[in-house]
Structure 1
Amino acid sequence: MSELRFDDVTVRYGAGRTAMTAVDGVSLTVPSGEVVGLVGESGSGKSTLARTAVGLSPVHSGRILLDGSPIAARRGRRPLQMVFQDPYSSLDPRMTIGASIAEILPRGLGRGERRDEVARLLELVHLDNTRAQAYPSELSGGQRQRVAIARALAGRPEVLVADEITSALDVSIQGSMLNLVRELQAELGLSMLFISHNLAVVRYVASSVAVMYRGRIVEQGPTAQVLEEPEHPYTRQLLSAIPRRVQTTPTTTHK
């Protein structure tokens, strides 16, 4: 896996007096093989930063580097893959699960190799390989999100960007998704930028955390340190909003 670094990145939309700065001079590092949590309320700029990393939003100034080299200079496969919030809209409803995953696999694999790799990826996210013949509409929300993760991993990314991947799921199955993230990180050594508005979620999966407010990083550091001794008022505000019942260890039910 690789190190992802945002170096004084600014993202703006529009021009002149109507210009809006969504991300304002953000510097953030996702070390190789680690999960970094990025938290903030809706509109804080965290999803814009994620979309910029994978090339879906333009960089106004600053650099995004992968192992010290600009991502824009990379050719061929995409070194970053993103898992989106809504698992249904991220999958083509006209394609089977197997075809959707196979579409991302590297070129040059034979038909049998592609079939075997799809089966392996489905098993990696705890789905039976017979699901390869199913369509997204036949799966639950949790199962679709597992497919979205398998599809992202099919691209063999150097860094995985996960944008609010549990927020569209039922509370009853959010825990199993977080357990899957931890399991995959341990097994594959994933470098991951994990985005959430929920500090309790980030506490469970991330080794370090950055807090984003109005387009800027206002606090960052080891997860335990930031959550136990928050320095910025906004971080303390986010912590006070965590319901007591959420501060529990996620379940292991797979759905």
Structure 2
Amino acid sequence: MSELRFDGVTVRFGTGRRTVTAVDGVDLTVPSGQVVGLVGESGSGKSTLARAAVGLTTPSSGQILLDGVPLRHRPGRRRPLQMVFQDPYSSLDPRMTIGNTIAEAIPRPFPDRHKEVRRLLELVGLDGERADAYPGALSGGQRQRVAIARALAGQPDVIIADEITSALDVSIQGTVLNLVRSLQRELELSMLFISHNLAVVRYVSDLIAVMYLGRIVEFGPAAEVLGNPQHDYTRELLAAVPRRGTTSLPTLSRRTSS
């Protein structure tokens, strides 16, 4: 378990008058072994912040720390942060078997990579025999399970899940969310769970951060943020959540504190 911290992180794109600030001085902590749900509408800067954490985008200022030490992304080394992306159809190489895709992420040296691939597939609820299958033979939900297994193969300290259910059928979303929650508890992972859907975030998160126009406008325990929101934007998000009986959102058991 490790703590992930964003310290005054700003990300800008473009130059001069065309500069766009996507993330604006964000301070945010993902405590060790807990799930922080990061919620906000499309364009609020959530995914940009996630990409900065895993080294796909370079912050313009500020720093990102793991257990108090600034992250350094270097090719060929174990990456303490792993990310599961939104689209399960584009995040896997269609020319590679799912076994090779997962094996590629396992740190070297490893005594029995084939056995580890099977273990990871079974951990996410897939038959180990599917290691020889190609992504084209899998459903969207199965592909996202493979993406989760690939992230776990890297033996990360922190998982970043970026809108991982938004491209899935509603009937599958609940299964994937329950899997994520179960794995987080079992493996005691720290996790930043990103979504535009507050109805999804509330089921998996210990803490909730609300992002608006590149800034964190509210942060606190999930029960407090949902039960007594302090920012107008949070209230708007809550008002937009469909009530029971008016939506086909998956039925999940609520998260209980351990």
TM score, norm. by length of structure 2: 0.94
Aligned sequence identity (%) = 73
Q: 1:17: Cα distance to partner?
A: 1.0
CA distance in 2, matches of 1:161, 1:129: 25
- What letter corresponds to residue 105 of structure 1 in structure 2? I
Q: For the aligned residues, what is the CA RMSD?
A: 1.3
- What letter corresponds to residue 225 of structure 1 in structure 2? E
Q: CA offsets, 1:99-151, max 9 Å, x none?
A: 000000011124xx101100000011000001101000100000000000000
CA distance in 2, matches of 1:159, 1:140: 26
What corresponds to 2:45 in structure 1?
45
What corresponds to 1:98 in structure 2?
99
Gaps of 5+ in 1: none
What corresponds to 2:209 in structure 1?
210
CA distance in 2, matches of 1:213, 1:21: 12
What corresponds to 1:31 in structure 2?
31
Aligned pair count? 249
What corresponds to 1:162 in structure 2?
161
Change (3 A) 1:138 1:222: same
- Contact 2:55/2:73 (<8 A) preserved: no
Q: CA offsets, 1:132-173, max 9 Å, x none?
A: 010001000000000000000000011000000000000001
Q: 1:239: Cα distance to partner?
A: 0.6
What corresponds to 2:61 in structure 1?
61
Q: CA offsets, 1:15-71, max 9 Å, x none?
A: 111100000000000011100000000000000000000000111000100000000
Change (3 A) 1:3 1:44: same
CA distance in 1, matches of 2:32, 2:110: 28
Q: 1:248: Cα distance to partner?
A: 6.3
- Contact 1:162/1:195 (<8 A) preserved: yes
Q: CA offsets, 1:62-115, max 9 Å, x none?
A: 0100000000277821110000000111100000010000000011124xx101
What corresponds to 1:85 in structure 2?
86
Gaps of 5+ in 2: 254-258
CA distance in 2, matches of 1:109, 1:217: 40
Q: Which moved more, 1:68-77 or 1:12-21?
A: 68-77
- What letter corresponds to residue 140 of structure 2 in structure 1? G
- Contact 2:174/2:250 (<8 A) preserved: no
CA distance in 2, matches of 1:94, 1:166: 24
Q: Does 1:108 align with 2:147?
A: no
Change (3 A) 1:126 1:26: same
- Contact 1:174/1:250 (<8 A) preserved: no
TM score, norm. by length of structure 1: 0.95
What corresponds to 2:251 in structure 1?
249
